[in-house]
Amino acid sequence: MALTMEDVRKVALLARLRLSDDELAVMQQQLSSILGYVDMLQEVDVTGVPTTAQVTDVVNIVRPDEVRPSLPVEAALENAPDQAEGYFRVKPVFE
């Protein structure tokens, strides 16, 4: 499928790209080539191939939740550069 120069200009506009005429010409050739490959894929017979969103098995590698004691406040604040009343003290974001 060959794109027109106007098609390429519209795509560049939508992508908010400022392209020179030379860059537009290169982009026209490259995008047309990509769409040609997509057209070739349309010709592949996929009868009987189930629709899938994931081609490999999804494995959950997250450990199960377990109740455990939390870090003591003193240990958490041990290396804090600034603390007050058992909390981390940080500079205000908005003043």
Q: What is the DSSP string of 5-63?
A: HHHHHHHHHHTT----HHHHHHHHHHHHHHHHHHHHHHTS--TTPPP-S-SS-----PP
pLDDT at 57: 83
**Residue 4: CB partners within 8 Å, gap ≥ 6?**
28
Which pTM value belongs to this model? Answer: 0.51
Stronger pLDDT, 92 or 1, i.e. the higher one: 92
Give yes or no for a contact between 25 and 41, defined as CB atoms under 8 angstroms apart: no
pLDDT at 59: 82
Other CB atoms closer than 10 Å to residue 40's CB: what's the count? 9
pLDDT at 2: 86
Beta bridge partners of 83: 88
pLDDT at 24: 96
pLDDT at 54: 81
Model pLDDT for residues 25-66, shown as the tens digit of each residue: 999 999 999 999 999 999 999 899 888 888 788 888 888 889
